[in-house]
Structure 1
Amino acid sequence: MYDRMQTFTTAQMTRVHDASMELLSDVGVAFNEPEALEIFAANGFRIDGKTVFMTEAQVRKALETAPSRFMVTARNPEKSVAVGEDDFVFVPGYGAPFIALPDGGQREATMTDYDNFCKLVQTSTSIDMNGFMMIEPGDVSPETAHLDMMFSSIVLCDKPFMGSPVSRQGARDCIEMASILWGGPDKLAAAGPVCVSLINSLSPLQFSDEMAGSLIELARANQACVIASLIMAGSSGPVTLSGVLALQNAEILAGITLAQLVNPGTPVIYGSTSSAMDMRTGGLAIGCPELSMVVSATAQMARFYKLPSRSGGGLTDAHFPDGQAAGESALALSTAARSGVNFILHSAGILGAYIAMSYEKFLMDEEMCSIIRKLIQPMDCSEAAIDVEMIKAVGIGGQYLTQPKTFQLCRTEFYMTDFFNRQNHAGWKAAGAKRIDQAATEKLSQRLAAYEKPPIDLDVETALSAYIAKRKNNP
C-alpha cells in the first residue's frame, strides 16, 4: 500500500530497537517501587540501587508472552471489544482539570461533568469504551476521587471501562470494584480483562512508585495496561524524533517486561503520545505535525514487536472548538486510525493540550470518529457491487436516481452526518446560521435528555456503594 507518510524499513526499526537495548543494558531504568526491584532481582536482572539493567535476551523473553490481541469484557457482553491486530477502539479524553465553556472561558470540572461524559459515552455509536479521569473533578476529595469516578464509569455505562492507576491502592480499589461487579475474584478471573489502565513512564528512563505499584497490582489481576511514554522532544527527551523513538521504546519495553514478569501473558498495549516542545513557549505541543509523525512510528514499532498499540486521537492545542481544533484533531485522529493504532485514547473532547474537556468538541470529535470508520471501511469490489449490467442498461446519458439498487442502498451506502452541516447556504441561513460548535451545544442537551441508565443488579450497585463508603471512612 502506498502512503506518503514514512513506512519504516525493518532495518530502521531494528536500529531503533538496538539503540533501546543499548540504553536498557548500559544506562538502565529507575523503578521507584521496592517490590518492582524485588521482582527484577528474583528473575536475575542486574540492579544498582533503584536502577534496573536489562539484556536483550531478558526483554525478548518477556515479549514472547505478551499477546498480540485480547478481549476486554463489558458488563453488557454485547459491548465487549477486541484490542490488537486489526481491531481498534475509540476511547474518550483523559486527565483534563477544566471544562471549556461555549463562550471560550473555562471552569473547574466537577463530578457532574464526569457523570455527563459517562452518559455521552453510553449513548455514543462511535466511542467504544468508557474512560477514566475524563475530567479531574475538583468538588470531591482527590484522595478518593478515583472511587467516585470508577463508580460512575461502572454504573452509568455498560461498555468496557478504563481502570484506576492513580496509586497502588487505587489499582487495588479498581480490582476490588471489578470483582464486586463480576461476582467475586474467581468470576473476575474467568471473565479475563474487564478494564484497561494507563501506566505512564516518568521520562527520561524512570517509573514512579505509583505507576510501578499500580502496574504490579493490575498485572497480578490479569487486567490490561497501556504502558505509555509521553516524551517532550527537546525537553524530557532528545530533540530528534528518531532519538525520541529510541528513548520511549526503552521505557515502554521496560514496563512491559515488568508486567510479564509479574504475570506472563497479561495483556499490555505499547503506547505513546510523545510530541514536540514548542521552542517559543517551552510548553508541550500536541496539535503539531510531529505528534502525528510519532503516532505513525509508534504503531509501526508496536507491530515490530507484535503488540497492540496506543496513541492519542483528537488532540489539539486550541482552547476553543474552532477551525484550529478541528484541523489538528482530525490530523491526529485520522493518522492514528490509518496507521493501525489499536487503542485510540483522547478520541473525543480534548482542548488546550489536555487542559480542558469540551462537551461541544466531544460531539464534534465523535462525529469525526464515525467519519473515519467510514473512511477506512474496505470498498466492496465484488461483481455484484460493480454491477456492470446495470451500468450497461443505463447506458450513455442515462440516470441512476430511479434505479432499484439506488432505492435499495440510498440509506446505507453513504455516510450520513449526525449534525455536521450539508445544507446549502439558504437552508443553513434559514436554520439559524449556526456554527458547528453552536449546533453541538444544542445537540448536547438532546443527548443528555435521551440518556437511559443501563440495567445493573441492585445488589451489585449497593455493594459498590458500600465499598466506596467503607474506603472513604478508612482511607
Structure 2
Amino acid sequence: MTALRARRSAERVHSKAGARIPQLPSRRVENPYPPMALLSSDQVEAIHQASLHILENLGIEMMNSRALALFESAGADVDHTTMTVRLDRGLIAEALKTAPSSYTLTSRNPARRLTFGGNIINFTLVAGPPNVHDFERGRRAGNLRDYRELVSLAQHFNCIHMLGNQVCAPIELPANTRHLDTYFANLTLADKPFHVSAIGRGRALDGITMMAIARGLSLDEIASDPGVGTIISVNSPRRFDEMMAEGLMTMAEFGQSVCITPFTLMGAMSPVTLAGALAQQNAEALFGIALAQLVRPGCPVVYGAFTSNVDMRSGAPAFGTPENTKANIASGQLARRYNLPYRTTPGSASNAADAQGAYETLMALWGAVLGHGNLVYHAAGWQEGGLTASYEKFIIDVEMIQHMMEFLRPIVVDDGELALDALAGVPTGGHFFGEPHTLERYATAFYQPLLSNWQNYEAWTEAGALDATQRATSLWKKALAEYVQPPMDADRREALEAYAAKRKDEIGAGEP
C-alpha cells in the first residue's frame, strides 16, 4: 500500500507540472494587528532626546556646499571649514510638521499605485548587489541579461510590489550611463514603481524624467503625483557625502519619495549598544528628513532604518540576528513617534540559499512586520549580506512573504466559520473529509504554497528527493517561462528610447 500511495502521489505531482505556479492574487497588504512595542514611551523619549543632543552638540558632516547653504539660511549653525552642521530642536520640529504621514507612488500602471504609511506593507525586490547567483550558472558579476531576468521575476510575482535601485549592476555597460539601461528595463519589463539611483543629480533626474515620460506627464505634473523613490544611504557615523546629498535634494525638488537610511552597524559604524545605535540612527534620519523639507516642504519622506550588528570576531556584518530583529521593531516605534512612513529590511549574512539564509531572513522579516514597516526593502533575493542577488533565494523569500501575507489576514468568526452544523453532522471519532462544509471550502481553505513539499517520504524520494533550494531552481525557471511583459504604448516606448539615447550622448560629451 505504501508503494501504491507513493506512485499515486508522484503521479499527482507530475500531472500538475504543466499548471501555473500558484501564487496569491495582487492585493494591498495591510497589517491589522497592533504594532509590537519593545521600548516604553520613556525609552522612546530618551532616544529622541539623545538624538537631539547629537544634532545640537555633535553635529552632522554635510559634504555638499548647496546643502550647507540651505541649512545656514534656515538658521542652523554651519561650520564651513569642517562642513559640520548643528541643528537645534526647533528646526527639526518645524521640518517634521511638513513631512506627510502617508503618500502614494504611481507607476505607469495606475493599478499598481502604492500607499506608504499607516498599516500598509510594501515588499521590494533586492537592490544594489554587484553579483548574482543561481545554481545552474553559478556566482558571477551582474550583467544586463541577469538584470532583465530578475526584473521579470519581480513583475511576475504579485507579492513583490516595487523594484529597488538596480537589482544588480550590469558591469558590461559603461558605469556613467548604465542607469539609463536599467531604468528602461524597469519601465518596459515591469509596470511597478521603482527606486532610482540618487548618486548625484543626473541619475536621479533621469529616473524621474523617464517615469514621467512613461506616464505621459511633465515634470511639473509628476511632482504633484510622485512615481519613483530613492534610498539615501547615510555614510554613518554622521556623514552625508556630496553625491548622495545632491541626489536627495534633486528628488525633493521634484517632489519624489526620499527614504533616509542610516547604515548603523553596531560595533562598527555605530555604538555597540542598541540604544546608542538607535540614537545615532535617529539623529541621522532626522537630519536628512529636515534637508528634504527645506528643499520642498511636504516632500514625501520615509524614516529609514538599517541597524544591525557585526561579528565582533571578524568585523563582518551580521543580519537576521536577535539584535537586528529588535532594531527593526524599535525603529518602527521611533518612526511612529514622528508620524512618518517606515522602511526596514529582512536581511541575511548567509553565502547560500540555505537554512541559514531562510531563518535569518524570516527572523528579520518578523521584526519588520511586528514593527509595522511600510517599505520592506530588499525583501526578495538578498544573499551574502547584500553582495549577491540570488535567484533561488528570491523564490524562497517569495514563499516567506506569501506566508506572512496570509498570516496578516484577520481571522473571520461568523456562523459559517464556526461550523456548528458540521460539528453536529460528524459523529465522535469521525472525520470531516466528506462533510459538506469541508467540500464547499477545501479548495480555498488553506494557503497553497509554491515551494513547500508536503509529500510523504516515499513519494518525495520517487519524485527526485529535491530539497527546497533545488525546487526553487525549477520554480524561477518556470516563472520566467510564464512571465508576460506588460504592454506599453508604442509612442511612449519610443520616447523613452530617444531620451536614453540623448542622455548617453550628453553624458559622453561630459555633461552631468
Contact 1:132 1:150 in 2 (8 A): no
What stretches of structure 1 move > 4 A for 4+ residues in a row? 1-6
CA distance in 2, matches of 1:4, 1:451: 36
Out of 33, 41, 61, the position equivalent to 1:30 is 61
CA distance in 1, matches of 2:410, 2:226: 30
Out of 92, 109, 122, the position equivalent to 2:155 is 122
| Aligned-residue offset at 1:4 | 12
Alignment of 1:16-415 (within 5 A): 16-49=47-80, 50-102=83-135, 105-183=138-216, 184-190=218-224, 192-313=225-346, 315-394=347-426, 396-415=428-447
| Aligned-residue offset at 1:385 | 2.1
CA distance in 1, matches of 2:33, 2:379: 26
| Aligned-residue offset at 1:382 | 3.0
| Aligned-residue offset at 1:179 | 2.1
| Aligned-residue offset at 1:203 | 0.8
Tell me the secondary structure at the aligned position of residue 120 of structure 2: coil
**Counterpart code for 1:188:** I
Worse overlay, 248-257 or 392-401? 392-401
Out of 446, 459, 473, the position equivalent to 2:491 is 459
Out of 39, 42, 50, the position equivalent to 1:8 is 39
Aligned residues: percent identity? 35
CA distance in 2, matches of 1:432, 1:63: 57
Query: 1:315-334 CA distances to partner (integer Å, 9 max, x unpaired)?
Result: 21111111111111111122
| Aligned-residue offset at 1:276 | 0.9
Contact 2:255 2:299 in 1 (8 A): yes
Query: 1:197-251 CA distances to partner (integer Å, 9 max, x unpaired)?
Result: 1011111111111111111110111111111011121121101010000001000
| Aligned-residue offset at 1:152 | 0.7
| Aligned-residue offset at 1:460 | 1.0
Contact 1:100 1:320 in 2 (8 A): no
CA distance in 1, matches of 2:107, 2:36: 35
CA distance in 2, matches of 1:277, 1:59: 31
**Counterpart code for 1:36:** A
Contact 1:23 1:250 in 2 (8 A): yes
CA distance in 2, matches of 1:151, 1:18: 44
Contact 2:368 2:376 in 1 (8 A): yes
| Aligned-residue offset at 1:100 | 2.1
Match of 2:28 in 1: none
| Aligned-residue offset at 1:79 | 1.4
CA distance in 2, matches of 1:215, 1:63: 17
CA distance in 2, matches of 1:268, 1:6: 23
CA distance in 1, matches of 2:319, 2:287: 25
Query: 1:372-399 CA distances to partner (integer Å, 9 max, x unpaired)?
Result: 1111221112344223344334353343
Match of 1:435 in 2: 467
Contact 2:35 2:371 in 1 (8 A): no
Query: 1:383-426 CA distances to partner (integer Å, 9 max, x unpaired)?
Result: 44223344334353343222333222212221101122111111
TM-score (norm 1): 0.96
**Counterpart code for 2:407:** L
| Number of corresponding residues | 473
Contact 1:226 1:310 in 2 (8 A): yes
CA distance in 2, matches of 1:444, 1:2: 32
Query: 1:82-120 CA distances to partner (integer Å, 9 max, x unpaired)?
Result: 111100101011111111231795211101111111100
Instruction: Provide structure 2 residue ranges, at least 5 long, that are not aligned to the other structure.
Output: 1-31, 508-512
Contact 2:199 2:246 in 1 (8 A): no
Tell me the secondary structure at the aligned position of residue 100 of structure 1: strand
Contact 2:77 2:86 in 1 (8 A): yes
C-alpha spacing 1:2/1:149, structure 2 compared with 1 (3 Å): closer
Contact 1:196 1:223 in 2 (8 A): yes
Contact 1:101 1:107 in 2 (8 A): no
Instruction: Provide structure 1 residue ranges, at least 5 long, that are not aligned to the other structure.
Output: none
Contact 2:382 2:393 in 1 (8 A): yes
**Counterpart code for 2:253:** R
CA distance in 1, matches of 2:374, 2:233: 17
| Aligned-residue offset at 1:43 | 1.7
| Aligned-residue offset at 1:6 | 5.8
| Aligned-residue offset at 1:449 | 1.4
Query: 1:280-317 CA distances to partner (integer Å, 9 max, x unpaired)?
Result: 1112112322211211111111111111111112x211
CA distance in 1, matches of 2:281, 2:268: 13
Contact 2:134 2:473 in 1 (8 A): no
| Aligned-residue offset at 1:436 | 1.1
Tell me the secondary structure at the aligned position of residue 450 of structure 2: coil
CA distance in 2, matches of 1:335, 1:288: 10
Contact 1:100 1:106 in 2 (8 A): yes
CA distance in 2, matches of 1:371, 1:311: 18
C-alpha spacing 1:237/1:17, structure 2 compared with 1 (3 Å): same
Match of 1:445 in 2: 477
Contact 2:236 2:264 in 1 (8 A): yes
Tell me the secondary structure at the aligned position of residue 272 of structure 2: coil
CA distance in 2, matches of 1:383, 1:222: 49
RMSD (Å), alpha carbons: 1.9
